[in-house]
Amino acid sequence: MNLAEARSTLQAARRVVVLTGAGISAESGIPTFRDAQTGHWARFRPEDLASPDAYHRDPELVWEWYAGRFRDVMQAQPNRGHLLLAELERQKRAEGGSDAFTLVTQNVDGLHQRAGSAAPLELHGTLLSARCEACGHVQPLPDAATFTPPPKCEVCGHRMRPHIVWFGEFLPDDVLALAELQFKRADVALIIGTSSLVYPAAGLADRTRSHGGLVFEINPDETPLTQRASFSLRATASEGLTRLMEARDA
């Protein structure tokens, strides 16, 4: 399939589902999870900062790291890739209703929402919220400039933890189940800026393929998905989406 055919297929698709990874946010200056461990944090392994054991051992240290990441993402801005996906969502939902487009993300930075995407499915949680250790209530963090961790639950007053899926934890069942359903039902799945190495997210594209849908990949590098994709663009998220949607932009 060439670019013109992919463009036409995307335009005609009744149901589109998208999976985004760290690559789309890299263009906004958001470091990947491992790249975020610089300076003072370089001496820590990921498991030292992002696991239930780490939090149980030193919640203040873990919260200090997450509060810094929260401040960083709130200073970043959505890039053209985020904005184009929000535009595609508006177009598809105007044509076919709310079920015509689903955005699933492995990112925790909230940039899709700030670009205008409506309620993306966040597989790994979000830096912008905390979850109560006692009652499970989820609430947004306060203003990043004044936030002092740890937050207290507005329902029961207990200490809260970052609303993030850590090493050793499972993805939320309801979010994963809905993502799998939408990938099964999709005419076209766009896989953008993800390595396609980390499961179960890496297996979502095959849900589309096994049910007769097409998979389009946008990534600067070849991935394990590339050979199985119906169409693959070696490009950044913003470059690839611009090329894939330019006929609609004209």
Residues classed as catalytic: 124
Alpha-carbon span 93 to 225, nearest angstrom:
27
Q: Are 241 and 80 in contact (CB under 8 A)?
A: yes
**How big is the CA angle at 180 (ends 221 and 166), to the nearest 5 degrees?**
70
84 Cβ neighbours under 8 A, 6+ residues apart: 238, 241, 242, 245
